[in-house]
Structure 1
Amino acid sequence: MFDIGWTELMVIGVVALIVIGPKDLPEMFRTLGRFTAKARSMAREFQRAMESAADDTGLRDVADDLRKATSARSMGLDAVKNAATKFEAWDPLKPKPGTSAVPDPDAPAAPAAPPTAAATIAAGAAATAAPVAAEAVAAAPLGPATTALAEEVATKRAARLAEQAARQAQPKTDAPAPAGAAPEGHEQA
């Protein structure tokens, strides 16, 4: 506690024995022991009073809430670290393990659903979108998910272009009649 060794204690004891005397020395040690015990009990009581005051005011609850709020888990920092680690290890040119770009020839084919009107239109659009989709896929080496997304976007674009071409090819029936022409059912005189 005070870094006092056995030799220093013996020197202090000898000096106390000479100064106080052998008759009063045991009584002085008892008094010193009581004083030390009383000081320790007062320190413990003070510490308990401070803890109970902190409990009464809710300071401990606030401290616990702050500790929980600032923890790495509650802030999501561990999830961010995991995501950063996965991103650093990610290679966009490699397919995911367990997936392949080429379908398994031994796998049974999925049963075909009856075609609907929307499927028929989509099939027509897909036929016109094939060159556009092939161009989008050939543009850059992409992963399977990105390739599928690029094909979907290209298919939608081709469907829009086909729809616009179909509108332009239709004859306009709402065009006004020429100035010299008579309305239907009426003959010119």
Structure 2
Amino acid sequence: MFDVGWSELLLIGVVALIVIGPEDLPRMFHTLGRMTAKARSMAREFNSAMEDAARQSGIKEATDDLKGMRNLTSKKALGLDALDRAVDKFEKWDPKLPTAKTVGMKPDPAAPGKTPVPPAAAPAAAAPGTGVAAAAPSAAVAPEPGEAAPGKRQLKAVRRSDLQG
């Protein structure tokens, strides 16, 4: 509170011993201790009285209600945190760069005017110490057009006019 160190306390004690004298010094410290204890008890009583007044006036319930309202209107509760993440992802997106989803995609063979292009094969690696290129791993068998690959769902586009009529 007063930020007094041990060296300052020692200096104050020596000055008090010289000024007050050795006979009156114990009575002065006793009186000073009682005054300090009385001041602390008054501070505790004041603090408890203020807490009681706040409790009786309903401030605690009001602050709890405000905290609840703050939680209801938070970004997470409203789903805005997901929107922020989506906006950040969209702002960082570059349409010219291929993504993991578009790397192995094949064009639709049924699309008019387009011919399917097989994905680029990985270059063959040389077998160690032989100087001969190793055979490329065999590619998975592609499903027939119109069939879904095993474990994959096939998406089908439907026009609104087809649904209504």
**What TM bracket, shorter-length normalisation?**
0.5 to 0.7
Post-superposition offset of 1:75: 1.4
Q: Which residue of 2 aligns with 1:83?
A: 83
Long gaps (5+) in structure 2:
94-98, 103-107, 109-145
1:130-188, Cα deviation, whole Å (9 max, x unpaired): xxxxxxxxxxxxxx5xx75xx3423256x3xxxxxxxxxxxxxxxxxxxxxxxxxxxxx
Q: Which residue of 2 aligns with 1:54?
A: 54
1:15 aligns with 2:24: no
What does residue range 1-189 of structure 1 map to in structure 2 within 5 Å? 1-71=1-71, 74-78=72-76, 79-86=79-86, 88-89=88-89, 104=148, 148=157, 151-156=158-163, 159=165
**RCO comparison, higher one (Cα < 8 Å, 6+):** 1
Q: What is the rounded CA distance, in whole Å, between the counterparts of 1:36 and 1:103 in structure 2?
A: 90
Q: What is the rounded CA distance, in whole Å, between the counterparts of 1:35 and 1:66 in structure 2?
A: 42
Percent identical pairs in the alignment equals 45
Q: 1:103 to 1:70 in 2, by over 3 A?
A: farther
RMSD of Structure 2 on Structure 1 (CA) = 3.1
User: Across the two proteins, how many residue pairs are aligned to each other?
Assistant: 111
Long gaps (5+) in structure 1:
96-100, 108-143, 160-189
3-state SS, counterpart of residue 29 of structure 2: helix
Q: 1:84 to 1:8 in 2, by over 3 A?
A: closer
Q: What is the rounded CA distance, in whole Å, between the counterparts of 2:15 and 2:30 in structure 1?
A: 17
Letter in 2 for 1:75: T
Poorly superposed stretches of 4+, deviation over 6 Å: none
3-state SS, counterpart of residue 41 of structure 1: helix
Q: What is the rounded CA distance, in whole Å, between the counterparts of 1:11 and 1:51 in structure 2?
A: 40
